[in-house]
Structure 1
Amino acid sequence: MVLHQARTDSSQDSSSVDGRARVSGVDAARGIALLGMMWVHIIPAVDESGRTSTAYLLASGRASALFAVLAGVGLALATGGRHPYQDGRLMLRRSGLVARASLLALVGLTLGAVDTPVAIILVYYALLFVCALPFLSLGARALVPLALGWSLLAPVLSHVVRSSLDESGGGNPTFGTLTDPQGLLTELFLTGYYPVLPWMAYLLAGLAVGRLALDSPRVAAGLLVGGAGLAVLSKAASWALLYPAGGLDRIVGSPALERRLSTSLGGTTPTTSWWWLAVSGPHSGTPLDLLHTIGTAVAMLGACLLIARRAAPLLRPLIAAGSMTLTLYSSHVVALGAAGDSADRAALLTIHIAVAVAFALLWRARHRRGPLETVVSATERSIRTLWARRSRSPSRLER
């Protein structure tokens, strides 16, 4: 679950029309990701006719990937935007992000105790933020090939390592799982629903995008067209490998497994064959899945940036929801757990979305950030202030 990062960088004036359009576009994309995840969480994977539901066909894997890419964009904006920090400001941001990640993990572990069907992402995101710290000083020219290489190679490494590991237990991380740190880290990095090793590709791609001139309509259009092209090409490559090349016959042994290719593979693929790396199904974590979902995420961001320049009022509900995703996501998880097995899933989805958007609009009328976002932001600022004072202390300077 992506969190709302710093809204501006020092090189750009957020009071300008272009700056406001950039912030609004990013927030609107976050709002779409949030609603997309709600859609998948509530609507069943298979509809009454036995086919994969529209929710899963459109949003499964793509909504969470959009969150992850936007997390990288937020990190880039918080660390200088087009001109990444190279001085003491970068160290201050890193210290604040460690505090942010710690709070994310605490919220995620707490939500893990809720009896809910949702695979909670917050602990994974906390670890992703920490793993992104070494890359925050890089510019787009370094980050683009790094993200591409990570997308191609990390799934291969994961495939090799997981071949000697047991499958994930499938549960959400909780405070209880802290008693087995090795098992927890294995699940978070490799075998869980949002494995950090391949998912770092999303953070690196988002960092690269956040280093671009997002207030430029030409850049926004390039993201839309380029992202859509990448998404189509990666799906076409997967289709060619699975069907004309015969890869599907080598990996699918049952109708249930074939169904998972269009719904969710639970974060990882089996390691019984190298042909599994050719699939691009939701939550498969393969090279073609990562490239496809990076493409759809980048295209969605480009579209939101363009619309925000011309018709921002139309995006107002999405912008409001996207500005407080931690609050709304956490509330959604708790409410879904309390709802239990509701028969009318469409009505339940309508209620969740309506309440989330209404609350966001009302709250934003008086406050800049959501309730949980305010706590996280205040803590992050406090840690940065303490770090700045420590770095300027005489005893430190004498060393």
Structure 2
Amino acid sequence: MKKPTERIIGYDIARSLAILGMVIVNYKISMNAEGNGPEWLIYWTSLLEGRASAIFVILAGVGISLMTQRVRLSENNSQKYRLTIWKRSLFLFVLGMSLYLMQWSADILHYYAFYMVIASFFIKASSKKIIITALSIVFTAQLLQLLLDYEYGWNATFSQYEMFWTFKGFFSNLFFNGYHPIFPWVAFLLIGMWLGRLDFQNHQLQKKGLIVSFIIFIVVEAASFIFIKLSTPSVGMEIAYYLFDTKPMPPTMLYIISSSCTSIIVIILCIQLSEKFKKTVIVQSLVYTGQLALTLYVGHFLALVFLFVFSGLTNYTLKFAIVFSFVFFLLSIISSVWWRKRFKRGPIEFLMRKVSE
């Protein structure tokens, strides 16, 4: 298959939009504003849960495939790239744990670090092997959710992982029942690696990807709805949702499939958008914003700290949380454009690259 010969800026646009989705979800939860708003707003913001983060992880997999494309298609040893990925993983782990120590318990970066280490062993693996591994991880995760105690380590309200700083609790959180556990979240990264090997400059592939992803998404969401309705009378609503819901906690098989499809749809639409409006100010601004995603991830936490210091994080409405999210995103776009016109990489992206050299 012919490989893309130029940078696909649609990936950067998708990353920038994922930033907005992630910020909305994190801010509404941190401000305890999830149910403090009109029903229609609660519903639409709930659709973002676990979806924006999935886009990030899938795009990370795409990035690994693009970065290692040359060595993958040659007979050269991949150890150099593997070491680079390991160094970046260590950087992300330290950064993520630093945020966790600052009370950011929903951090994804320390999970991200382990995803990348696992992915580094699939640099030269065939696409078939990558997909089979991803499916195996998803099936294994579903099995673990049936056999193990998903509530282990959490407090009574499921808002704080109390056992995080114990040996057993840390590894349970990391592999099984944290916010973004390796089983099954690393499957998103492997799916991204597979996508990164496809030629998404091919319009036929774009069209096919959109149609197939949309159909699978509709089928999975319909199946989730039907399974919950049919099983509720016999097992109860709570267990029915536990087994068949498409929300990120617990991350069921249906959630992984549904989120993968919505991620692919968003990514392809962003690629098409970038092709049609490549030279416009808005598109270029979103590209710059997506290129500073890691810096902005840290920045969105610091914005929360700022808000907490001055007024606390309680009793906010959902509308306020969303407005605050859009204000942060707008400031992110402005600052990203200013920064990228002067520097090639964001500050934290630059540090990570230096560490991994």
Structure 1 pair 103–55 and aligned structure 2 pair: CA distance change class (3 A): farther
Aligned to 2:72: 84
- Cα drift, residue 319 of structure 1: 1.2
**Equivalent position SS for 1:281:** coil
Q: Secondary structure at the match of 1:112?
A: helix
Contact 1:168 1:192 (C-alpha < 8 Å) held by counterparts: no
Report the AA paired with residue 95 of structure 2. Answer: V
Distance 1:241 1:112, change over 3 A: same
Q: 1:336 to 1:241 in 2, by over 3 A?
A: same
- Give the drift of 1:249: 5.9
- CA distances 1:227-256 after superposition (whole Å, capped 9, x unpaired): 22221111111112111x234762425xxx
Q: Aligned pair in 2 of structure 1 residues 61, 165: CA closer, same or farther (>3 Å)?
A: closer
Tell me how far 1:210 sits from its aligned partner: 0.7
* Paired amino acid for 1:363: W
* 1:193-272 matches, cutoff 5 A: 193-243=179-229, 245-247=230-232, 250-252=235-237
Match for residue 93 of structure 1 among 75, 81, 88: 81
**Are residue 190 (structure 1) and residue 156 (structure 2) matched?**
no
Matches within 5 A, 1:24-173: 24-43=9-28, 44-49=33-38, 53-80=42-69, 84-85=72-73, 87-116=75-104, 119-151=106-138, 153-163=139-149, 166-168=152-154, 171=160
TM-score of the two chains, using structure 2 as the length reference: 0.86
Greater RCO, CA 8 A, separation 6+: 2
Percentage of identical aligned residues: 24
Does the C-alpha gap of structure 1 residues 249 and 51 become closer, same or farther in structure 2, counting only changes over 3 Å?
Answer: farther
Gaps of 5+ in 2: none
Letter in 2 for 1:198: P
Q: Following the alignment from structure 1 to structure 2, what is the Cα–Cα distance between the partners of residues 369 and 89?
A: 28
Cα distance, 1:183–1:363 mapped onto 2, change above 3 Å:
same
Deviations 1:73-119 (A, max 9, x none): 111111117x8356445211110000000000111111112245x61
Are 1:322 and 2:311 matched, yes or no?
Answer: no
1:345 equivalent in alignment to 2:331: no
Distance 1:215 1:164, change over 3 A: closer
Instruction: Call closer, same or farther: CA 1:236–1:94 in 2, change over 3 Å.
Output: same
Unaligned 5+ runs, structure 1: 1-10, 14-18, 254-272, 382-399
Take 1:109 and 1:331, find their aligned partners in 2: how far apart are those partners?
16
Q: Is the 8 A contact 1:168 1:187 kept in 2?
A: no
Query: Counterparts of 1:101 and 1:173 in 2: how far apart (Å)?
Result: 25
CA RMSD of aligned residues (A): 2.6
Number of positions where the alignment pairs a residue of Structure 1 with one of Structure 2: 338
Aligned counterparts of 1:120 and 1:186: Cα–Cα separation in 2: 16
Distance 1:333 1:248, change over 3 A: farther
Partner of 1:280: helix, strand, or coil?
A: coil
Name the CA distance, whole Å, in 1 between partners of 2:162 and 2:140.
Answer: 23
- Corresponding letter in the other structure for 1:105: F
Report the alpha carbon displacement of residue 316 of structure 1 after superposing the two structures with TM.
2.0
Greater mean deviation of Cα atoms: 230-239 or 164-173 = 164-173
Question: Residue 224 of structure 1 contacts residue 298 of structure 1 at CA under 8 Å; is this kept in 2?
Answer: yes
Q: Which of residues 277, 286, 289 is equivalent to 2:252?
A: 286
Matching residue of 1:309: 275
Aligned to 1:3: none
TM-score (norm 1): 0.77
What SS is found at the alignment partner of 2:102? coil
Compared with structure 1, are the counterparts of its residues 367 and 249 closer, same or farther at alpha carbon in structure 2 (3 Å cutoff)? farther
